[in-house]
Amino acid sequence: MENEVALADVTEPMTQEEGQRTEGTSKYAKFSSVLLISIVLCLATLCVAVDNTIISTAVPRITHDFHSIDDVGWYASIYPLASCAFQPSYGKVYTLFSSKTVFLAALLIFEIGSVVCATAPNSHVFILGRALAGLGSAGIQAGTTLILADCVPLRQRPTWNSIIGSMFAVGSVVGPLLGGAFSDTITWRWCFYINLPIGGAVVIFIAFFYDGTQGGKRTFDAVVEFEVIVVIVHQSKLRLPRLSPCDHLHADRGRTIAVPLAAAAEQL
């Protein structure tokens, strides 16, 4: 009898907790809405992934037009550098402001960077555009995870996260193919123009069909993250040029690469 009473005492709270978890799922979106949101997030993630690899096969044409072989290292490096440097701070920004507002701002920055790259008259402007696109991509990647968590119950998130994350694999394959096709048939500038219609569709959907979460932590704790940004950007600015293909002109190329990278690792 005592065992039966103890068993009843143990199982009753578990049943109540399960009921609360079941009721808690009602605040999430319906399957049809989740499917539509996931498609939009997949498109945004695909743009970010493709933009990271599409330039690999377009670099020869870009350097030919700009006569800027010395800047080749920056063309591919500045985009992931900006994305890596600012992504931690976007996590803080999303807690300060509405997720909808921050995600739209990141999308607009990414689109502006794409326009700057597509219309760049010289190498320096092109690098600036790549940096802006990387800054926007950091917010898109952070926002994608947050939006999905806002719409999908916890037990379903791994499935949807894996679907959206697979866009990076697709982008790694499709990006170089598109870059080579555009460079050989039309112009390399279409490597960046292609982001405009896709990004525009994502902006329209998020603006009109997604409410977003409201930021509540109006603090300045996020300022600490900018110290990390300064360190990453400063060290990379000094070290990345050492990886340029033109460094074969240096007599002691091994030391010019190894020493700065070791110093950067120590400071980080």
Cβ(29)–Cβ(151) under 8 Å? yes
Of the candidates 6, 127, 109, the one whose C-alpha atom is nearest the C-alpha of residue 59 is 127
For residue 241, being part of any structural domain is answered with no
For residue 203, being part of any structural domain is answered with yes
What are the DSSP calls for 99-141, one per residue? HHHHHHHHHHHHHHHHHHHHT-SSHHHHHHHHHHHHHHHHHHH
Query: Taking 60 as the threshold, does the pLDDT of residue 156 lie above it?
Result: yes
With H, G, I as helix, E, B as strand and everything else as coil, classify residue 213: coil
The DSSP 8-state label assigned to residue 219 in this structure reads -
Q: Where does the pLDDT of residue 254 fall: very low under 50, low under 70, confident under 90, or very high at 90 and above?
A: very low
Domain CATH number, residue 139:
1.20.1250.20
Q: What is the pLDDT of residues 227-247, one digit of tens each?
A: 555 555 555 554 454 445 444
| 28-35: average pLDDT | 75
Please give the tally of structural domains in the chain.
1
Q: What is the pLDDT of residues 74-103, one digit of tens each?
A: 888 899 999 988 888 888 888 888 889 999
For residue 155, being part of any structural domain is answered with yes
Res 175: pLDDT:
92
- Model pTM? 0.75
Count CA within 13 A, CB hemisphere, residue 71: 18
Res 149: pLDDT:
85
